[in-house]
Structure 1
Amino acid sequence: MKTTLAMCLMATAPFLFGVAALGADLRGHGGPVRAIAVTADGQTAITGGFDAKAIIWSIKTGEAREVLLFHDGQVDAVAALPQGRFASAGADGRIAVWEAGRSTPVAVLQGHSAPVVSLAVSPDGSTLASASWDGSVRVWPLSGGEPRVLQGHRGNVNAVAYLSDGTLASAGYDAAVMLWPAEGGAPVRVAMPAPLSALVATRSDRVFVGGADGKLSELNRGGTILAEVAASSSPITALAVTANERYIAASSIKGEIVLLDVKSLQPVRTFGTAGVPVWALAFSPDGKTLLSGDGDQMVGEWNVEAGQRLGTKIEGSADPMAEYAGNPDAEVFRACVACHTLDPHEGDRAGPT
């Protein structure tokens, strides 16, 4: 018992949180939702979760169209590809390419030796970039062939995003942003003040990164740091920007989502999930709706202008450990729910059950 408790505590101690009753429109994952991507027409979303599932959703109806099972472990990254295809990647280091209506991947991209935690599609739709905790970035031709392997980070690579000319930006735990020219050649390395967990690029090639210090920084395509603001009092976990470049959203480990004006980088409003971590963000193409991947198994849907959560309020399940409130061991087991199924009525999660 002591060994089990110690292992669970090491994995989850920084992220202890209680049970909350929250509202959401998309409910189907059996663990924290780690990744979200929305199709260009705004009709469909794909999500990945700690339960090792990728789910394709109808945004209009809130229904799960397909549940994709392939990965050995959590799904940490997803992407919407051209021609109605999707990609998922995760703890097993593999990238699966999916076509609608098929229960198995049409392609599996292998080469990473550690979890893949971010995916990005090139502007022309011809390549897929992946960021991995093996310290590398890979650029995969979607038509087939060997990937281009980019080495330069000194630790986990946590995020990738393309600029309009095909330049690839990456951010990592080594507190660095790397800008990789599309045609090859030496990358630009930009040192930042803290480890980085999130990155997003706008259509006009403004690059934003979020770090463990809660700060949001802006860089230009040449790597010059243009601005820096304190977006959160806790580590930033995800970033998303509207297509019209009006708003940028930043989420944190404590569950707040801060909406900032892109031009001034001043906060416009804050909304969040009552202390539950938010791991992923994605705007609808029209910028009116924001989807959040939450630590309570939900995909939250938010009205951007009103700052209000949409959908029917869903009551949280009864806490089976309520009678043990204040007991340290009970708190550890509550934290374990992020990765392990502890009740026969719960869904699958990434860890052993």
Structure 2
Amino acid sequence: FLPFRSGDSTARIWTVGDGPCSSNPQNGPLNVAVLKHYKGRTNDKSKDVTTLDWNSDGTLLATGSYDGQARIWSKDGELVSTLTKHKGPIFSLKWNKKGDYLLSGSVDKTAIVWDIKTGEWKQQFEFHAAPTLDVDWRNNVSFATCSTDNMIYVCKVGDNRPVKTFAGHRGEVNAIKWDPTGTFLASCSDDSTAKIWSLKQDTCLHDLKEHTKEIYTIRWSPTGPGTNNPNQPLVLASASFDSTIKIWDVETGRLLHNLVAHGDPVYSVAFSPNGEYLASGSLDKCMHIWSVKEAKVVKTYMGSGGIFEVCWNKEGDKIGACFSNNVVIVLDFRM
């Protein structure tokens, strides 16, 4: 299943078959579930869908909306529960691996952990002084949050104060991601830097300064000790408004590859499950597939609008992308 977030106050679950597929709301296939976040009129922009996330076994989809509500849906598109406590738009939400907690971050400056069994909020974390932009679980009970206040907090369910505070960015922190084993936390910011942090120290391990404009997103490779690809080194990818993608060595903080092919800001990157390829999407309407080892483009797909999100399926033979003109495509990938 491929989920799709949208500005038409819906989310959609597409059932993807074999072969290439290109779909949009007007002429989509029959096998699509439309998750409506409105009743009656469709022009209520307060219910536009901002973020979504599947639980680990693919049975429940969580969506966050501008109306400040998180919603849980079955894989068939049935509304299971509505989670109401935020007082502003939800910008990020993530399931923990166990699937018993959902974490959300909001413009109201808070993060909330929701107990899925009861459908109620378990704990609200009110540490940031400005909107919470991203959240990410480290394990089933601890997580990190970042904000436009330039701060990063590591929190634990049940604790009333942050476990760790990371200060060092000089601009809004746009995204945070734990590496596959929860050892390192990566962050990226409007200050044009990405940073790698460890709970063992207060200052960052590496300050990655090669970008020249804001960095919108970061992704860890699914490689290294403790992953399904233990014989390949762990690396970090960062995507920037300077139109480049950079691959970083985690051990040394050294720039390994500077990937230059896009002509506009890069909004999304995603590693293939085996870590050998990286997909990137940009406002230039192109999705490039890169060989990580060779640092070169191996395939390019041209779309009909700017690309805001790319993702791989579990098998690594299909890539999904969503475009600024509300089109979703799913493409076969074979080398």
Structure 2 length-normalised TM: 0.72
1:22-171 equivalences in 2 (<5 Å): 23=28, 26-29=34-37, 33-59=49-75, 61-84=76-99, 85-100=101-116, 102-122=118-138, 124-147=139-162, 148-163=164-179, 164=181, 166-171=183-188
TM superposition shift of 1:65: 3.5
- Where 2:98 maps in the other structure, the secondary structure is helix
- Where 2:121 maps in the other structure, the secondary structure is coil
Counterpart CA distance in 2 for 1:48 and 1:291 is 20
Q: Note if contact 2:216-2:240 (Cα within 8 Å) is conserved in structure 1.
A: yes
- Residues 33 and 281 from structure 1, CA distance in 2 versus in 1: closer, same or farther, beyond 3 angstroms? farther
Counterpart CA distance in 2 for 1:20 and 1:33 is 15
1:220 aligns with 2:249: yes
- Residues 166 and 119 from structure 1, CA distance in 2 versus in 1: closer, same or farther, beyond 3 angstroms? same
| Partner AA of 1:268 in structure 2 | K
Decide which of 256, 270, 288 is 2:301's aligned counterpart: 270
Q: Note if contact 1:54-1:75 (Cα within 8 Å) is conserved in structure 2.
A: yes
Counterpart CA distance in 1 for 2:81 and 2:332 is 27
Counterpart CA distance in 1 for 2:50 and 2:285 is 13
Instruction: Tell me the number of residue pairs that the alignment of Structure 1 and Structure 2 aligns.
Output: 283
1:189 aligns with 2:219: no
TM superposition shift of 1:64: 4.2
TM superposition shift of 1:20: 8.4
Q: Note if contact 2:286-2:300 (Cα within 8 Å) is conserved in structure 1.
A: no
Counterpart CA distance in 1 for 2:326 and 2:35 is 7
Gaps of 5+ in 1: 1-18, 307-353
Decide which of 258, 262, 268 is 1:232's aligned counterpart: 262
TM superposition shift of 1:210: 0.4
TM superposition shift of 1:269: 3.5
- Residues 243 and 231 from structure 1, CA distance in 2 versus in 1: closer, same or farther, beyond 3 angstroms? same
List per-residue Cα deviations over 1:99-137 (Å, max 9, x = no partner).
325443222111111121222222x43421112111011
Q: Note if contact 1:34-1:293 (Cα within 8 Å) is conserved in structure 2.
A: no
Q: CA RMSD, aligned part only?
A: 3.1
List per-residue Cα deviations over 1:15-40 (Å, max 9, x = no partner).
xxxx9857475543556543333333
Shifted more, 94-103 versus 155-164: the winner is 94-103
Q: Note if contact 1:33-1:294 (Cα within 8 Å) is conserved in structure 2.
A: no
Correspondence for 1:302: 330
- Residues 288 and 32 from structure 1, CA distance in 2 versus in 1: closer, same or farther, beyond 3 angstroms? farther
| Partner AA of 2:268 in structure 1 | A
TM superposition shift of 1:288: 4.8
Q: Note if contact 1:38-1:282 (Cα within 8 Å) is conserved in structure 2.
A: no
TM superposition shift of 1:290: 4.9
- Residues 162 and 216 from structure 1, CA distance in 2 versus in 1: closer, same or farther, beyond 3 angstroms? same
Correspondence for 1:179: 196
TM superposition shift of 1:244: 2.4
| Partner AA of 2:126 in structure 1 | Q
Kindly indicate whether structure 1 or structure 2 has the higher relative contact order, using CA contacts under 8 Å at least 6 residues apart: 1
- Residues 209 and 145 from structure 1, CA distance in 2 versus in 1: closer, same or farther, beyond 3 angstroms? same
1:243 aligns with 2:273: yes
Structure 1 length-normalised TM: 0.69
Gaps of 5+ in 2: 1-23, 38-44, 224-233
- Residues 39 and 90 from structure 1, CA distance in 2 versus in 1: closer, same or farther, beyond 3 angstroms? same
**Larger % of strand: which?**
2
Correspondence for 2:7: none
| Partner AA of 2:87 in structure 1 | D
TM superposition shift of 1:283: 4.0
Counterpart CA distance in 2 for 1:51 and 1:258 is 34
TM superposition shift of 1:80: 1.3
List per-residue Cα deviations over 1:149-168 (Å, max 9, x = no partner).
11000010011111235111
- Residues 231 and 83 from structure 1, CA distance in 2 versus in 1: closer, same or farther, beyond 3 angstroms? same
| Partner AA of 2:301 in structure 1 | T
- Residues 73 and 173 from structure 1, CA distance in 2 versus in 1: closer, same or farther, beyond 3 angstroms? same
TM superposition shift of 1:229: 1.2
- Residues 116 and 232 from structure 1, CA distance in 2 versus in 1: closer, same or farther, beyond 3 angstroms? farther
Correspondence for 1:331: none
